[in-house]
């Protein structure tokens, strides 16, 4: 941050220190970009909200070197099972159980380097803030509310209110990112509308402390319990190793939130037994299916909930926002540092919006079968009639909800087709299945994961910027041409020679250019055309027109 007169200056101003603003600041700060974050609250959040940091986010946190810190901050013991149990009530009868939900078991999986981590959102934010403290170019200011914005050809000027002193100050930045949540002030200043279904379902959330509840109920250990009964269909789960729990239930649209007495009744109904507990906090929230009509205006961009709002089923909101932060962060940094072209910033919406739209459909699909849809009047009936109903409901749950808890194809199988900074190679995308991941190095998708012989992840060897994978020594002369071209253009590139036949087979190419965010930008067996054209396209210096034809395997000629 630089001070100038009454104001401050930075390369990037981020509005909002939720998980997305913080993640963006980490991505920029790691790249040596000067950042100011303003946050209207006077401290970090306390509501648990997101509870699963998914495998893609964990992969990104590992890239920043903080995956272990996240695991240590997780409030449940490391061996706590990442399972979900369905039962009539917590003290009622079990109906169904899912194991390894969200791929949270701590086992080595060939397809990703980090399992998911159950951790409340506020603890993720605390880890990100701690990491930011180590990045000298980043300043986080609490108690500072963005009130107004103006932009010109060179940058934007924000008017920010210091809430404590009630004194406004200005911030001048080359770029401004609104990571200021669903009610984004930045978005409304830009008069950008959200499009889709607004508040289509209300929800009530309570945090309660119940001494002895953990370990004192009859169900198997789980990260959440979906309770299916006619009185109070709900989801509850432990928040820590002590006795703090969350409780969440749907509220009919327009319903008044429960008063403390009603809340006690509802929680007791969901538990199925009178026990001692104290309600610590309550909140209401609405599920939306909304996407911003535009993600930017000039030098001002939107990220996270500010531009897409999902129903929480499947745990996509924060995780998608962390993905936005990384996509946008490396691109802004490249432009600020001078090696990235303006098309990089145009590509942000082109790449992320279709992913958001797809995930919203997926989350809405998950939301179409939740606890209250599963209720059957005979669920708690004694004897064979009740038993048959419970078995039937349990079977339907297993058939229907697996997609929500095992959506690896959604979390890791998305791709950036049609992006102006991806060099398409004419191959078809892998089969699209929410529950299956077909690893593919087709440009636009995530680079397939691979465990190295020494136990490290292939991703650990990627450079911070572009990585050129050379998967066959025969491709070395072509690699040298690409390296030289990158050097001439000032594009930071790490060359990684890995002569492993299995890897070349997995990537279906001898040469692969991987972007800073682990997406494949280009692959081929050989260069055909000018390497500079490829590099200019993938760094946003040229438009949509693909400048270079890619030669596929079997069409092996010398370097042109």
Ligand X SMILES: Cc1cc2nc3c(=O)[nH]c(=O)nc-3n(C[C@H](O)[C@H](O)[C@H](O)COP(=O)(O)OP(=O)(O)OC[C@H]3O[C@@H](n4cnc5c(N)ncnc54)[C@H](O)[C@@H]3O)c2cc1C
Least distance from C-beta 287 to ligand X, angstroms?
Answer: 8
Least distance from C-beta 457 to ligand X, angstroms?
Answer: 23
23 or 475, CB closer to ligand X? 23
Grouping H, G, I as helix, E, B as strand and the rest as coil, residue 528 is coil
Q: Which residues contact 246 (CB under 8 A, 6 or more apart)?
A: 48, 51, 205, 206, 207, 208, 236, 237, 239
User: Residues in the chain, how many?
Assistant: 560
Least distance from C-beta 21 to ligand X, angstroms?
Answer: 5
371 forms part of the interface with ligand X (CB under 6 A): no
Pairing state between β 296-297 and 224-227: unpaired
404 forms part of the interface with ligand X (CB under 6 A): no
28 or 38, CB closer to ligand X? 38
Q: Which of residues 509-528 bind ligand X (CB under 6 A)?
A: none
92 or 315, CB closer to ligand X? 315
332 or 513, CB closer to ligand X? 332
Binding segment for ligand X among 19-27, 84-92, 188-196, 232-240 (CB under 6 A)?
19-27
Binding segment for ligand X among 9-17, 78-86, 206-214, 452-460 (CB under 6 A)?
9-17
Number of residues in contact with ligand X, rule: CB under 6 A? 34
508 forms part of the interface with ligand X (CB under 6 A): no
CA 258/CA 7 separation, integer angstroms: 46
Which of 29, 312, 443, 448 forms a contact with ligand X (CB under 6 A)? 312
Give me the phi and psi of 240, to 5 degrees please.
-160, -175
CA dihedral 548, 549, 552, 556 (to 10 degrees): -80
Whose tokens are 């890239």? That residue is: 63
Which of 321, 329, 394, 439 forms a contact with ligand X (CB under 6 A)? 321
255 or 560, CB closer to ligand X? 255
> What is the pattern of x (binds ligand X, CB under 6 A) and - over residues 137-166?
--------xx--------------------
Cα 30 to the center of its chain, rounded Å: 18
Least distance from C-beta 495 to ligand X, angstroms?
Answer: 35
296 forms part of the interface with ligand X (CB under 6 A): no
142 or 369, CB closer to ligand X? 142
366 forms part of the interface with ligand X (CB under 6 A): no
Which of 185, 406, 415, 541 forms a contact with ligand X (CB under 6 A)? 185
Least distance from C-beta 149 to ligand X, angstroms?
Answer: 10
Q: Which residues contact 515 (CB under 8 A, 6 or more apart)?
A: 330, 466, 521, 538
List the 94-98 sheet strands across, edge first. 94-98, 84-87, 224-227, 234-238, 244-251, 194-209, 278-292, 308-309
Least distance from C-beta 363 to ligand X, angstroms?
Answer: 10
Minimal CB distance residue for ligand X: 18
317 or 413, CB closer to ligand X? 317
* Cβ 302 vs Cβ 193: under 8 Å: no
Nearest to 539 by CA among 477, 497, 483, 490: 490
362 forms part of the interface with ligand X (CB under 6 A): no
List the 466-470 sheet strands across, edge first. 493-497, 466-470, 511-514, 520-524
309 or 441, CB closer to ligand X? 309
Which of 304, 434, 443, 445 forms a contact with ligand X (CB under 6 A)? 304
Binding segment for ligand X among 27-35, 67-75, 298-306, 447-455 (CB under 6 A)?
298-306
309-to-219, 304, 319, 321, 363 alpha-carbon distances in Å: 33, 8, 12, 10, 10
Q: Which of residues 83-142 bind ligand X (CB under 6 A)?
A: 121
Q: Which of residues 266-285 bind ligand X (CB under 6 A)?
A: 285
Binding segment for ligand X among 15-23, 209-217, 265-273, 467-475 (CB under 6 A)?
15-23
39 or 517, CB closer to ligand X? 39
CA 418/CA 402 separation, integer angstroms: 31
Task: Render the burial of 362-398: b for 16+ CB within 10 Å, e for the rest.
Answer: bbbbbbebbbeebebeebbeeeeebeebbeebbebbe
Least distance from C-beta 242 to ligand X, angstroms?
Answer: 21
Given CA atoms 541, 545, 546, 547 in this order, what sign does their dihedral have? negative
CA 379/CA 386 separation, integer angstroms: 6
Least distance from C-beta 521 to ligand X, angstroms?
Answer: 26
CA 133/CA 144 separation, integer angstroms: 18
335 or 411, CB closer to ligand X? 411
207 or 335, CB closer to ligand X? 207
295 or 462, CB closer to ligand X? 295
Least distance from C-beta 312 to ligand X, angstroms?
Answer: 4
420-to-136, 328, 402, 511, 534 alpha-carbon distances in Å: 33, 15, 35, 20, 11
Terminus-to-terminus CA distance in the chain, angstroms? 46
Q: Which of residues 214-273 bind ligand X (CB under 6 A)?
A: none
Given CA atoms 224, 324, 443, 427 in this order, what sign does their dihedral have? positive
Q: Quickly list DSSP for 75-107.
A: SS-TT----EEEESSTTS-EEEEESSGGG-S-S
Q: Which of residues 25-84 bind ligand X (CB under 6 A)?
A: 38-41, 49-52
Which of 319, 371, 419, 440 forms a contact with ligand X (CB under 6 A)? 319
Q: Which two tokens stand for residue 390?
A: 């419970």
Which of 27, 30, 180, 362 forms a contact with ligand X (CB under 6 A)? 180
Least distance from C-beta 523 to ligand X, angstroms?
Answer: 30
Pairing state between β 300-302 and 167-178: parallel
The binding site for ligand X (CB under 6 A) comprises 15-21, 38-41, 49-52, 121, 145-146, 179-181, 185, 205, 285, 304-306, 312, 315-319, 321
């Amino acid at each position: 941050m630089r001070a100038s007169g009454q104001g401050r200056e930075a390369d990037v101003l981020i509005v909002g220190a939720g998980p997305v603003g913080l993640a963006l600041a980490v991505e920029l700060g790691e790249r040596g970009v000067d950042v100011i974050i303003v946050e209207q609250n006077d401290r970090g959040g306390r509501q648990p909200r997101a509870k699963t940091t998914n495998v893609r986010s964990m992969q990104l946190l590992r890239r920043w070197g903080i995956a272990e810190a996240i695991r240590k901050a997780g409030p449940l013991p490391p061996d706590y099972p990442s399972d979900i149990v369905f039962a009539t009530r917590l003290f009622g009868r079990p109906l169904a159980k899912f194991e390894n939900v969200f791929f949270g078991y701590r086992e080595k999986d060939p397809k990703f380097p980090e399992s998911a981590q159950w951790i409340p959102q506020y603890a993720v934010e605390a880890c990100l803030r701690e990491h930011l403290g180590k990045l000298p170019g980043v300043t986080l200011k609490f108690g500072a509310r963005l009130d107004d914005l103006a932009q010109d050809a060179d940058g934007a000027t924000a008017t920010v209110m210091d809430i404590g002193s009630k004194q406004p100050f200005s911030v001048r930045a080359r770029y401004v990112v609104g990571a200021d949540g669903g009610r984004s002030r930045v978005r409304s200043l830009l008069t950008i509308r959200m499009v889709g279904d607004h508040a289509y379902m209300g929800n009530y959330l309570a945090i309660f402390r119940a001494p002895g509840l953990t370990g004192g109920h009859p169900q198997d250990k789980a990260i959440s319990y979906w309770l299916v009964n006619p009185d109070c269909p709900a989801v509850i789960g432990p928040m820590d190793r002590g006795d703090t729990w969350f409780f969440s239930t749907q509220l009919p649209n327009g319903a008044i939130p429960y008063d403390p007495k009603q809340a006690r009744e509802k929680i007791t109904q969901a538990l199925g037994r009178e026990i001692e507990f104290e309600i610590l906090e309550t909140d209401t929230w609405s599920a939306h299916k909304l996407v911003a009509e535009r993600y930017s205006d000039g030098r001002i961009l939107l990220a996270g909930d500010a531009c897409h709002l999902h129903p929480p089923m499947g745990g996509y909101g924060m995780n998608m926002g962390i993905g936005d932060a990384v996509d946008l962060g490396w691109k802004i940094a490249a432009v600020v540092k001078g090696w990235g072209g303006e098309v990089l910033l145009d590509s942000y919406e082109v790449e992320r919006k279709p992913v958001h739209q797809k995930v919203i459909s997926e989350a809405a699909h998950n939301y179409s079968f939740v606890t209250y849809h599963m209720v059957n009047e005979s669920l708690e009936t004694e004897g064979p009639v009740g038993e048959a109903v419970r078995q039937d409901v349990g079977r339907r749950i297993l058939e229907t909800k697996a997609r929500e808890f095992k959506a690896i194809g959604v979390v890791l199988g998305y791709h950036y087709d049609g992006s102006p900074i991806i060099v398409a190679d004419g191959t078809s995308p892998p089969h699209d299945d929410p529950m299956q991941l077909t690893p593919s190095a087709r440009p636009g998708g995530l680079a397939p994961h691979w465990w190295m012989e020494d136990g490290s992840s292939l991703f650990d060897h990627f450079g911070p910027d572009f990585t050129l994978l050379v998967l066959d020594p025969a491709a070395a002369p072509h690699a040298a041409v690409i390296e030289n071209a990158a050097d001439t253009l000032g594009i930071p590139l790490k060359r990684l020679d890995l002569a492993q036949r299995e890897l070349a087979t997995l990537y279906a190419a001898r040469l692969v250019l991987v972007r800073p965010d682990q997406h494949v930008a280009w692959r081929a067996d050989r260069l055909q055309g000018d390497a500079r054209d490829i590099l200019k396209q993938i760094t946003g210096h040229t438009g949509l027109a693909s400048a270079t034809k890619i030669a596929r395997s079997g069409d092996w000629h010398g370097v042109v």
